[in-house]
């Protein structure tokens, strides 16, 4: 019987079978090649073949993935951790205050998804907390990200109309949801489907950071072929398997222009003469914030705080 992994806690996997039942399962034998640089051979979202033997279930085959999204392993240097597989889109929840999500973090998340050819949705939450000037800033950012092909919303998790709009975007798709702790991710998920029962963490007034309430990725069926994958509150988003030369490929506004540089694909868009990317920044057709994020990534700096 086929199934889909909805939860991974180490050596055990919870699999939702095509019969609608959930099975606690283990891997049967070595079904992955040796030397793979992933810390987890099976991940949430994987489609698998199950062998059912009374109360026991074994995963005998992992179906080919349509895609997957990685982040750097926090435990093993040089290894990556697969957050999820077979996703239709990623959704990043960000906030401009309480806590503030840095544009560097947002851009790293977006280009990571772009490198795996996964469509992105960016949601700025807590609009009810914004001042007039902050609302203007939020709308400017919305226009910026819409212009590069990122579906962008400004919402309040307490507004039914906003949640309804978000539900429409998720319908009949598998969506990976991410965001710093404290941005309201669990609150939004609970409003999307009360059955999820995600724990909500308060934002500390002292640190302006949320408490971590999710400890591992988990996929929740929401009916109508709709799934959401909740991920741990991520503190950082390291670039995986991405060389300096290719980073500009994953900035849509740079991808169109980079071959017009004097040195073509060899140009890093830093100090090279006749660089079309830097010219576009000066002209204002590429946002300075995006270029700043790009430079920090190429230079290996940390602009995510």
What's the Rg (C-alpha) of the chain?
20
Give the global pTM: 0.86
> In CATH terms, is domain 2-64 a member of 3.30.70.380?
no
Q: CB of 46 within 8 A of CB of 83?
A: no
Q: Cβ contacts of residue 260 below 8 Å, gap of 6+?
A: 276
Domain ranges across the chain:
2-64, 83-230, 244-298
Q: Cβ contacts of residue 172 below 8 Å, gap of 6+?
A: 224, 225, 226
Torsion of CA 7, 9, 13, 19, to 10 degrees: -30
Q: From CA 95, how far away is CA 73, in angstroms rounded?
A: 25
Encode 26-38: b = buried (16+ Cβ within 10 Å), e = exposed. Answer: ebeeeeeeeeeeb
| HSE of 79, CA atoms in CB hemisphere, 13 A | 15
For 300, the token pair is 């290996």
Give the homologous superfamily in CATH for domain 244-298: Probable gtpase engc; domain 3 (1.10.40.50)
> For the domain 83-230, what is the CATH code?
3.40.50.300
Q: From CA 203, how far away is CA 233, in angstroms rounded?
A: 13
The one-digit pLDDT tens for each residue of the chain (305 residues) are 999 999 987 778 999 999 989 999 998 876 654 445 566 778 999 999 999 987 789 999 999 999 988 776 555 555 677 888 999 999 999 999 989 999 999 999 999 899 989 999 999 999 999 999 999 999 999 999 999 999 999 999 999 999 999 999 999 999 999 988 889 998 999 888 866 665 444 433 333 444 444 446 889 988 778 999 988 755 455 566 688 889 999 999 999 899 999 999 899 999 999 999 999 999 999 999 999 999 999 998 765 55
Q: CB of 4 within 8 A of CB of 45?
A: yes
Q: How far is CA 143 from the centre of its chain?
A: 20
Instruction: For tokens 């979202």, name the residue.
Output: 45
């Amino acid at each position: 019987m086929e199934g889909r992994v909805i939860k991974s806690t180490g050596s055990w996997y919870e699999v939702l079978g095509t019969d609608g039942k959930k099975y606690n399962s283990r891997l049967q034998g070595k079904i992955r090649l040796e030397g793979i640089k992933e810390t987890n051979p099976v991940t949430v979202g994987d489609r698998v073949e199950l062998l059912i033997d009374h109360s026991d279930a074994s995963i005998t085959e992992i179906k080919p993935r349509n895609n997957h999204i990685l982040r750097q392993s926090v435990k093993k240097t040089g290894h990556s951790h697969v957050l999820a597989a077979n996703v239709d889109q990623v959704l990043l929840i960000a906030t401009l205050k309480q806590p503030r999500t840095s544009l560097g973090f947002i851009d790293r998340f977006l280009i990571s998804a772009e490198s795996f050819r996964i469509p992105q949705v960016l949601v700025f939450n807590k609009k009810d907390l914004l001042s007039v000037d902050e609302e203007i800033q939020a709308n400017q950012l919305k226009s910026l990200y819409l212009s590069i092909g990122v579906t962008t919303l400004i919402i309040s998790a307490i507004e039914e109309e906003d949640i309804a709009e978000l539900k429409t975007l998720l319908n009949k798709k598998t969506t990976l949801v991410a965001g710093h702790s404290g941005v309201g991710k669990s609150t939004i998920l609970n409003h999307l489907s009360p059955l999820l029962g995600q724990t909500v963490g308060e934002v500390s007034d002292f640190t302006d950071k949320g408490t971590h309430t999710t400890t591992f990725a988990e996929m929740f069926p929401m009916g109508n072929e709709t799934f959401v994958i909740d991920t741990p509150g991520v503190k950082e988003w390291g670039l995986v398997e991405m060389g300096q030369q290719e980073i500009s490929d994953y900035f849509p506004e740079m991808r169109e222009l980079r071959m017009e540089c004097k040195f073509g694909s060899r140009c890093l868009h830093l100090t090279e003469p006749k660089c079309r990317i830097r010219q576009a920044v000066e002209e204002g057709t590429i946002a300075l914030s995006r270029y700043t994020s790009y430079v920090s990534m190429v230079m290996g700096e940390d602009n995510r705080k």
